A and B are shown apart, each in its own frame.
Chain A
Amino acid sequence: MAENDSTKNSVAPTLQVAKRLEKFKTTIFTQMSSLAIKHSAINLGQGSPNFDGPDFVKEAAIQAIRDGKNQYAPGCGVPDLNLAVAERFKKDTGLVVDPEKEVTVTSGCTQAIAATMLGLVNPGDEVIVFAPFYDSYEATLSMAGAVTKSITLRPPSFSAPIDELRSLVSKTTRAILLNTPHNPTGKMFTREELDAIASICIEHDVLVFSDEVYDKFAFEMDHISIASLPGMYERTVTLNSLGKTFSLTGWKIGWAIAPPQLTWGVRQAHSFLTFATATPLQHAAAAALLAPDSYFEELRRDYLAKKSILVEGLQSVGFKVFPSSGTYFVVVDHTPFGQENDVAFCEYLIKEVGVVAIPTSVFYLNPEEGKNLVRFTFCKDEQTLRNAVERMKEKLIVNTH
């Protein structure tokens, strides 16, 4: 039988994708990764480690598979994992939450964000984000029909412009989307900033969606969950995941913690997005979250060492490196090298130097705001980081024309 597409009588349908997609094409990560492979470049772009997760977690997953835990888990999570998430949250914030009613397990934090937006935001609602922001926020907000307003965190300190926030919040503001520690800048919101945001939210009855996936990568100060501030738990959805903390980014185990009335909305959307999350991996995640303090201390030490290799390297090459208190990212000003903008610089860096960074312009509503900045990650083994620094020292030349 020949291709059945070439029926003479039927006209191929005009492409009919939904309007919500007009703005969204392939992500910058996919584009950069393809280019990187072509040029055998060292990838300090995408934020996934080139080393693997701890054995005890992998073994727990294997045991779960062998024990036959391979069928649908309850939609809101395997009870052991919900409990482990609640216990971890209590340890980290002092807040006591009900694992059954206030914890929802999702396919990664990305999906927790999608479920939160779709479950709690109405078309036309305003949501405020801090730019630069993780690129899936804009996409999922657009799917929920929200109006996205952004406030820019500016170098060198990336401090939160509270006055700007205060004047932007209005009757139509439904939520503020907070990401701390912050991707891509590495900024961590201080107690003062969070207090100010909290008082604005309480005054205007606004929700907070707090993406805290990098909470265990806090180097220069302690991570604070806004949900733990007075009056905030009842209006906050706290989002997190397993992947970054345990170097298992491909497992897609995430969660949302929120009071019952908000959890309800998250769960409804979640059950129609993915229905359930990978069962054996949830069992392993429960084991992971019970890791002793020493695991997290060692994690911080390892990453601090990686951070110094990268930061010192970037500085010696000639980048202006901005201070990053948390996450495993650092943002730098590339303009000493004379390229037109961040995308051009990244392309040049891949093709001529053999290193990948991510242009930050995609993380702003107005791309112009990011044209001087690019993001490097240090979630790679030390040798890879050293090799990347070597390549840059050899081939990157400061060009002030």
Chain B
Amino acid sequence: MEKLSSVAKALEPSPIQQLSFLAQQCNAINLAEGFPDFVAPAHIKNAAVLAINSDFNQYRHVQGICDYVAQKMKEMHDMSIDPLTDIVICCGQSEAFAAAIFAIIDHGDEVIVFDPSYETYDTCIRLAGGVPVYVGLDPPYWTLDPYKLEKAFTDKTKAMVLNSPHNPTGKVFTKDELEAISVVCTRWDVLAVTDEVYEHITYDSRSHVSLASLPGMQSRTVITSSLSKTYSVTGWRVGWAIAPPRIASAIRNIHIRLTDSAPAPFQEAALAALRSPPSYFKTLRSDYESKRDCIFELLVKVGFKMVFKPQGSFFVFAELPETCYLSDIEFVEELIKQAGVVAVPGAGFFHGDGCCSRRYIRFAFCKSNETLTAAAAKINELAEGDGRLKIFEHGKLRVPT
């Protein structure tokens, strides 16, 4: 009895989640999934405990979250946002994004998405009846080609998705690139939906610039973000969408029918999180920067082609050297079996037949220093005298002696 909807039939389980199962079975060190293995900040956990004990456990909308988010957008991007009308609290950025797509996409609408991209955007757009149209970022620096972008627009284009800082590459879109995007969005009268969950995780004194802060963009942009990555509480499901009032209202109406409310005690705890002092963000950034440097150096040393250093997010997108004949999936499987370390094959992030789609591996470094050190040690065990991985030298599987 085949009763699935046609959309559900077309979907496959998340490749990232499947690899996690294999890793668990092999007891592997998980550098695949994008969540920390270190503890969440104490002041935020305490706020959640206090909220539960103070009976903040029924359906809620905590307006204070909107007030703080609006304040932060003013501080970071000099944007003026009305906390009463422009912000919708959702169950994580996941739901904010889904609600935004459902709010604006009709059947047949085209949505431009940059390639590579986080796996969820594609299926969310299709679930709403939309058609994703991919514009490839050019390796090795993942630059945006404005000409390619322009060519992707048609009169069916309704929206564009922008994720910056970017998963999986770690790219932070430059001001010039954002301007090029804003010009073409304005010319074609298209909406932008941004995913800015890594907004506070940028390196080398680089700032995250929000697309909506560019001239003419606030009135046509939906910003989505959350507590998860910034405050290391990916399991709490508190996020938000920021949009001009009429679109925010549409998103709110969808959200209420999808889930009705984000978890109440964590909304309350969000206030403590959003009130964190500037020192919190400084430490967050510098801690992640040193983790980035460690893993980047390791990957260079063992022979990956490392041209582009992550500018933001906690991912590094490493390219397999030419001498490696394994595909990304084969390499990841070998790494699990031989080194007990798991990463994500890049193929799942590409949507097209690009020549590079099987050559990249995504490593997450949102892990404790102990974990990263242990992973480095295990990977180094597979290296030859010159420090490079045996797999890379011989282009084939290591043969046990």
Chain A residues with CB under 8 Å of chain B are 1, 3-5, 7, 9-21, 24-27, 30, 46, 48-50, 52-53, 58, 61-62, 65-66, 68-75, 107-108, 110-111, 114, 118-123, 136, 139-140, 143-145, 174, 205, 207, 234-235, 247-252, 261-262, 264-265, 267-269, 271-281
Contacts and interface: CB of A to CB of B under 8 A. Distances in A.
Contacts of B260: 108, 110, 136, 252
Contacts of A17: 103-104, 246-247, 250
A207 to B, nearest CB: 6
A165 to B, nearest CB: 19
B314 to A, nearest CB: 13
A289 B128 CA distance: 35
B45 A21 contact: no
Nearest to A15: B246
B216 A65 contact: no
B369 to A, nearest CB: 17
B91 A274 contact: yes
- The 10 A-B pairs with the shortest beta carbon distances in the complex, nearest first, are A250-B264, A279-B235, A10-B216, A139-B257, A265-B8, A275-B94, A52-B55, A268-B11, A17-B250, A265-B4
A8 to B, nearest CB: 10
Contacts of A271: 13-14, 120
Given A7-B215, A250-B60, A265-B3, A58 B52 contact: yes
A278 B261 CA distance: 12
Interface residues of B, number: 85
Given A13-B191, A261-B3, A7 B216 contact: yes
A53 B57 contact: yes
Contacts of B92: 274-276
B3 A248 contact: no
Nearest to B189: A13
23 contacts: A10-B186, A18-B104, A21-B254, A26-B249, A62-B49, A65-B49, A66-B45, A68-B39, A70-B39, A70-B45, A70-B235, A71-B35, A73-B235, A139-B257, A143-B257, A250-B265, A251-B57, A251-B265, A252-B259, A261-B1, A261-B4, A271-B13, A276-B237
Interface string B27-41: 000000101110110
B234 interface: yes
Nearest to B239: A274
Given A71-B36, A73-B235, A250 B95 contact: no
A14 B91 CA distance: 28
B265 A234 contact: no
B234 A72 contact: yes
Nearest to A27: B256
B392 interface: no
Contact of B259 (A267, A274, A280): A274
Contacts, number: 256
Nearest to B96: A274
B337 to A, nearest CB: 23
Nearest to B190: A13
A143 B102 contact: yes
A107 B237 contact: yes
Interface centre among A13, A120, A250 (most CB of B within 10 A): A250
Contacts of B290: none
Most chain B C-beta atoms within 10 Å of own C-beta, residue among A1, A14, A107, A110: A107
B52 A118 contact: no
B233 interface: yes
A100 to B, nearest CB: 11
A70 B55 CA distance: 20
Contact of A21 (B6, B217, B250): B250
A249 B59 contact: yes
B189 to A, nearest CB: 5
B388 interface: no
Contacts of B37: 71
Contacts of A27: 253, 256
B257 A140 contact: yes
Nearest to B60: A250
B245 to A, nearest CB: 10
Contacts of A10: 186, 215-216
Contact of B35 (A72, A120, A265, A280): A72
Given A4-B214, A118-B5, A122-B5, A16 B158 contact: yes
A118 B7 contact: yes
A251 B264 contact: yes
A284 B68 CA distance: 29
A184 B111 CA distance: 40
